[in-house]
Chains A and B, each alone.
Chain A
Amino acid sequence: MRRFAFGGLLLTIVAVGPALPVPGRSGAAAPPPIYTDSGIEAQLVRIYAAIEKNRLDQAMNLTESLLHQHPNFRLAHLIRGDLLLARSRPISNLGNATNAPAERLADLREEAVARLQANRKKPADNTVPRYLLQMQPDQKYAVVVDTQKARLYLYQNENGRPRFVADYYISHGKLGSEKAREGDKKTPVGVYHVTTSLPRQKLTDFYGSGAFPINYPNEWDKRQGRKGHGIWLHGTPSDTFSRPPKASDGCVVLSNQDLDALAKNLQPGLTPVIISNDIEWLSLDDWQAERNALNKNLDAWRTDWESGDTDRFLRHYSKKFQSGKQGFDAFAQQKRQVNAGKEWIKVKTDNLSMFRNPGKDELVVVTFEQDYRSNNLSNQMKKRQYWIREDGTWKIVYEGAA
């Protein structure tokens, strides 16, 4: 009876995702993982494996050692409660505290599912998040968040190719993602970067060991009329090890130890933070193809600009183009006027990054240093463009100084 009940609990949890082998159960000596995350999930998996094998004493020992490391880890307390209760009566689910507040119980169950699934589904070696098309050379790391999986992935820039380093459990907005308004308790979806670093000393306990604001709302958000501010990556208050998957007012929240580990790799003003609902993964081949296509477009845009042929140049711009108050027609007219006075134009782009915006729209955020020279004007600037795919062709839908 008890065995059955506990098995049921485990199955409930693991049945949510596709049935991948649980690490360590297949028996095959898996190569040591390259992941450097906190290992909480691995410990949870061992606990559940012990439960599944009916080794409840072992499960209890593992749980207690986890609690020894993290005395405020509520989920571990819940599991401990279950393991204790299982000794006195059959239990049927994770969290058998009768008449406990259902919401809090549901929160912990969601956390359990998120953590166990994350451990089962590490990114495959030969895939990358579609969003990381190109990192600029000085961006050492990039952060990609999956709100549905309650997970943050850290990638290292290895000669332009993103290499998976670690992943962490995160919480996001109480009411989900796709932030649109101030106070909607949602986490924005899009391409952002860390703007500054706020140390623990400047913060209340609520933010834990530190905070890294990101640039929500970005140019695209503003253009879409999205409002709100103060979206940060930050830590956890001292009374709990972690928060439920959906807990924040829109921020991305990590446990303090995870935030500390992550913080070492974040460069204020530089490190991209891409937040998605559900990361799209590309094989390296597909990723390379998409990246090449975009680079080609960018290069065509540059050479067409240098050609002085305004029509050729303008074909790279969407009819929906908008920069500040200037729409496509005004922009086109201005370019024609300017180009009329040019004898030669040289455009160089450098330090280029390309990040695909998560979501249905095919949108890529391109940022680079532009070195513009001509017979009557030279200008160096950091430029940001949003390229959108219209009828199969990449077009610029926004550009401006970054």
Chain B
Amino acid sequence: MPSSLPTHRPTARLPALLVALALCFAAPLARADNLADIQKLIKSGQYPQALEKTDAYIAGKPKDAQGRFLKGLILTEMNRPADAIAVFTRLTEDYPELPEPYNNLAVLYAQQKQYDKARTALEMAIRTHPAYAIAYENLGDVYAKLASQAYDKALQLDSSNSAAQGKLSLIRDLISTGTRPGSKPVVAAAKPSEPVKVAAAEPPKPAATVVPIAPPPPAPVVSGPAKPVEPTKATEKPATTAPGKQASDTASTESEIVSAVQGWAAAWSKKDVKTYLGHYAPDFQTPNGMPRKAWETERQQRIDKPGKIQVSVADVKVSLNGDKATVKFRQDYKSATLNSSAGKTLVLIRVGGKWLIQQERVG
């Protein structure tokens, strides 16, 4: 086996898998180039060419997980689900410890309305990799879909009847449909317009794609995979990120911002809900566009639960643009039932001398 096979990587590093698969690890430069070329082709929508190149690549390295994974993606893009399923299925057989092939299988199954299979695949993905955010997200959708099928049976609704389907709003926004209004794809920070949350082997924003979602104050009931539910708003990329470091002339502003973020984390840790909520701007973009009041209530209930919560931030990076700042950091969350560490982005705005959170998302 080539040393580059992901099998050899310690599981602790799996979160970075996609990145790893895409570019990194000790692969020969030629290989990376090859793969990068394929990715470029994929990105520009030249699927047949990409497929040709991938096939050639695989011919030389029949066992190569990354090449086969890309092939599965290309086939998915080319709307050849049966072939894509075959590719991903074999990958799960050869590399049962990789969550991504399972996830993508699940997406394909879900597109074919085989939700039970999708569920099984996602549960496998999570078993191999408990912090795999996309799988949780997708699994949540699959559960919702299965739930609505169960409701159809309970309530004698004919789900093949589109009118009835319209009544159950759960049904519509599953994986297969792209535009869920105000919707969340946790993943989608990387690819907001990507309708299908296929675990993409696309390098640009790998962190966002793979990083586990910020821990919800645990949702303990769910003894199965608890889907992380921290508010995550899949916004289009914030307009603020771009200007980069230009604004860092005012070190004092930056330290204000950092201390605002730390204050926010401290209030959360102290379960001081009032102060915690006070860190959010009036025009904070609530997850899924839910009403502010409902969101606040939800936060209150989540935070105000028995058991200690400890939230700390590390590796804080601030990009400042006038009265708007984008803060990226690692959020370490600890509670009685959940420990996690995840990348998080907050967009803060200056309101009356105070820095308040306008957007909050994972990645």
Contacts and interface: CB of A to CB of B under 8 A. Distances in A.
Nearest to B222: A87
Nearest to A51: B221
B167 A90 contact: no
Closest 7 CB pairs of A and B: A81-B150, A88-B140, A97-B151, A2-B221, A78-B154, A77-B154, A84-B147
Interface string B186-223: 00000000000000000000000000000000011111
Given A86-B221, A99-B167, A239-B156, 20 more contacts: A1-B302, A3-B220, A3-B221, A5-B221, A55-B223, A57-B223, A75-B154, A78-B154, A81-B151, A81-B154, A83-B147, A84-B150, A89-B227, A90-B219, A96-B151, A97-B151, A97-B170, A98-B168, A101-B157, A240-B156
B312 to A, nearest CB: 23
Interface residues of A, number: 39
B248 interface: no
B73 interface: no
A343 B223 CA distance: 87
B224 A85 contact: no
- With most chain B CB atoms within 10 A of its CB, the pick from A1, A95, A239 is A1
Contacts of B224: 56-57, 60, 87
B153 interface: yes
A242 to B, nearest CB: 12
A104 B168 contact: no
A100 B362 CA distance: 33
Interface string A87-119: 111100001111111001100100000000000
A86 B169 CA distance: 16
A84 B170 CA distance: 12
Interface in B46-90: none
Interface in B220-234: 220-227, 229
Nearest to A103: B155
- Best-surrounded residue of B150, B167, B222, B301 (most CB of chain A within 10 A): B150
Interface in A54-77: 54-57, 60, 74-77
Contacts of A212: none
Contacts of B247: none
A108 B220 contact: no
A321 interface: no
8 contacts: A1-B298, A54-B221, A54-B223, A77-B151, A95-B154, A97-B151, A100-B155, A239-B156
B41 interface: no
A164 interface: no
Contacts of B302: 1
Interface string A1-30: 111111000000000000000000000000
A74 B140 contact: no
B146 A84 contact: yes
B260 interface: no
Interface string A255-272: 000000000000000000
A306 interface: no
A87 B140 contact: yes
Contacts of B135: none
Contacts of B154: 74-78, 80-81, 95, 97, 108
A4 B304 CA distance: 12
A82 interface: yes
A55 B222 CA distance: 8
Contacts of A108: 154-155
Interface of B: 139-141, 143-144, 146-151, 153-157, 167-170, 219-227, 229, 298, 301-302, 305
A99 B169 contact: yes
Contacts of A87: 139-140, 143, 222, 224-227
B125 to A, nearest CB: 15
A88 B139 contact: yes
A85 B302 CA distance: 18
A105 B157 CA distance: 11
A100 B170 CA distance: 10
Contacts of A96: 147, 151
Given A88-B143, A98-B169, A98-B170, A77 B150 contact: yes
Contact of A74 (B146, B153, B226, B227): B153
A75 B153 CA distance: 9
A4 B301 contact: yes
Contacts of B169: 98-99
Contacts of B229: 89
- Among B169, B224, B225: residue with most chain A CB under 10 A: B224
Nearest to A72: B153
A57 B225 CA distance: 10
Given A1-B301, A87-B140, A54 B220 contact: yes
Nearest to B119: A84
B122 to A, nearest CB: 11
Given A4-B301, A87-B139, A101 B221 contact: no
A228 B140 CA distance: 53
A96 B156 CA distance: 15
A77 B153 contact: yes
A84 B143 contact: yes
B134 to A, nearest CB: 14
Given A84-B150, A97-B148, A74 B143 contact: no
Nearest to B141: A88
User: Which of B144, B223, B226, B229 has the most A CB atoms < 10 Å from its CB?
Assistant: B223
A100 B157 contact: yes
B155 A105 contact: yes
Contacts of B155: 74, 78, 97, 100-101, 104-105, 108
Given A1-B298, A95-B151, A100-B155, A84 B223 contact: no
A81 B148 contact: yes
A89 B221 CA distance: 11
Given A77-B153, A98-B170, A105-B155, A85 B144 contact: yes
